[in-house]
Amino acid sequence: MTGFVFSTGETGTYSLNSDCTGTAEIDLNVPVPPGSGLSSGVIKLMMVVTNGGRAIHTVVAEITPPFTTSPILNTTSSDAWKIGNDPDHE
């Protein structure tokens, strides 16, 4: 597991397997404590890294919104590509 921090305050961890699949968990860290038994917000992702590390494809496996007790249904996915000069891939 490797940790990360977004500039907007969210934190998380991710793990990438040798077959380029992995998981990530983003903690939303709401500024107001959510109270006993309530979530501060968590997003769990499944991912695949492709194209020599230049693309990542993610699916939200589970999301628990802030101030709730359990995950909600969602159907979110995203794709991202590295842009710009990369001497190793020219």
pTM over 0.85: no
- pLDDT band, very low/low/confident/very high, at 86 (cuts 50, 70, 90): low
Rounded mean pLDDT, 32-52? 91
Cα(70)–Cα(90) distance, integer angstroms: 46
